[in-house]
Amino acid sequence: MTTILSIQSHVAYGHVGNSASVFPMQRLGVEVWPVNTVNFSNHTGYGAWRGPLMDPADVADVITGIGEREAFGDIDAVISGYQGGEGIGATILEAVAQVKAANPEAIYACDPVMGNETSGCFVHESIPVLLREKVVPHADLITPNQFELGYLTGTEPHSLEETLASVDAARAMGPSTALVTSVLRPDRPEGTIEMLACHHDEAWIVRTPHLPLKANGSGDVTAALFTSHWLRTRSLQESLGATVSAVFDLLELTLDSGKRELQLVQAQESYAHPRMQFEVTRVR
């Protein structure tokens, strides 16, 4: 059974961080060990929230306890999402090092959360530096959106060729695999959006309708599903197709519901049995 250590935020109300990613992975049959970096009432997009930001030492203590169960060797991947500062970044990297020492085949999947095309960079100015210089070089798989890819590499990818070149620049930093979400190349058909997956010299892209929806946590679900499928299949085409199918159905269900929060539980069949309704095309 695939086992993933997921070091992310947690909210009681709604679905972001571990609250978004754990259940879809479990629905796929993945064993998930969540370690929470915050314990908030709700995500910060509401403008008000309650609950503690976990001290990096407390997060490290939880991870140490897992190690004391001699369980690091069972872990196939470590996943991280939003990183609020250098302290938690160092804690995550130490966990990755410990897991890889116990299981050299384990991977580190990093979602380098920094911002998006609409909002720009919404994290502290130190975070992109932390990700670029210390975190991403240790990652095996990264899952940025197109904006974050550019921010990470100091490029401005727009066309497919520019985006592929930016992926190559990111891979030169350390990761062998990249999933690029929210690809908005100028020559795409109106009302569509794309997702691109690359590994070494291989690259695949898939296009879907662009749903008029801002859904906090959708990136966390996307990273979790792609990592899970990639660990199982090592097929870019299959992993990308299954991930896009499930995430699209989740977003469409959420849009139809009229609710702000992801309809994560209601969409559970889409994770376990993705419809594979979109064509996945090789571009390199």
pLDDT tens profile 123-143: 778 888 889 999 999 999 999
215: three-class secondary structure by DSSP: coil
Check if the beta carbon of residue 108 is closer than 8 Å to that of residue 131. no
AA identity, residue 214? K
pTM of the model: 0.96
- The tens digit of pLDDT for each residue in 225-262 reads 999 999 999 999 999 999 999 999 999 999 999 999 99
pLDDT of residue 115: 82
Q: Tens-of-pLDDT digits for all 284 residues of the chain?
A: 999 999 999 999 999 999 999 999 999 999 999 999 999 999 998 999 999 999 999 999 999 999 999 999 999 999 999 887 789 999 999 999 999 999 999 999 999 988 877 767 777 788 888 899 999 999 999 999 999 999 999 999 999 999 999 999 999 999 999 999 999 999 999 999 999 999 999 999 999 999 999 899 999 999 999 999 999 999 999 999 999 999 999 999 999 999 999 999 999 999 999 999 999 999 99
Residue among 36, 38, 34, 39 at smallest CA distance from 12? 39
Q: How far apart are CA 90 and CA 135, in angstroms?
A: 8
CATH number of this structure's domain 3-282: 3.40.1190.20
pLDDT of residue 267: 98
Which residues share a beta bridge with 181? 145
Torsions phi, psi for 262 (to 5 deg): -55, 135
pLDDT of residue 138: 97
pLDDT of residue 124: 75
